[in-house]
Amino acid sequence: MSSGKEHDKSTKAWAGPFTIFLALLFGLQSGLIGGAAFLVGGLWLSPDLDTHSVAFRRWGILQYLWWPYKKIIPHRSIFSHGLLLGTLMRIGYLLLLTSLILALLTKVGFPYHLNPKIFFSQLFQVHKQNLFIALVGLEASAWLHLIKDGGLLQKKRKKTKHK
């Protein structure tokens, strides 16, 4: 199982090749979006956000936003380290927080287009392909994380006492 520093090193090392791969397949813009998402996924949206990890601490004062997530999601469960589901859980959690913040801003008089329903509807309609590529980048970084941990869904190992 890799340490947080090892995960960071691997993420940074693979971001370039991943960006080039996507750029060759889908064009430069998609490559850059996917590569940036790969970095964000590996460095800030790691499957280890459910622990006091390097990725968790990287959020600085905003790490407290992840406190409910840490309390609800068991470490190395299918909800944090599961293929696609783990990434969707972290994105869903961020979307929920963003929706709550936007709803509060709308209630206190900020522009109507910040209403979460309108904001996300327009975002998904206008940027559907870019959002898909970003999801690919986020998920690819999660796969790298899981591979570095020793498997795509490795169960917790029980500690045994040695006599």
pLDDT tens-digit map of 110-158:
776 677 788 788 888 889 999 999 999 999 999 999 998 886 544 544 4
Residue 161 belongs to some domain of the structure? no
Whole domain around residue 39: which residue ranges? 4-148
Give the DSSP per-residue string, the chain: ---HHHHHHHHHHHHHHHHHHHHHHH-HHHHHHHHHHHHHHHHTS-GGGGTT-HHHHHTGGGGGGGHHHHHHSPTTSHHHHSTTHHHHHHHHHHHHHHHHHHHHHHHTT--GGGSHHHHHHHHHHHSHHHHHHHHHHHHHHHHHHHHHTTSTTPPPPPP----
Residue 84 belongs to some domain of the structure? yes
Considering the entire predicted model, what is its pTM?
Answer: 0.83
pLDDT tens-digit map of 72-91:
998 888 998 889 999 999 99
pLDDT of residue 159: 42
Residue 93 has pLDDT above 90, yes or no: yes
Structural domain total, the chain: 1
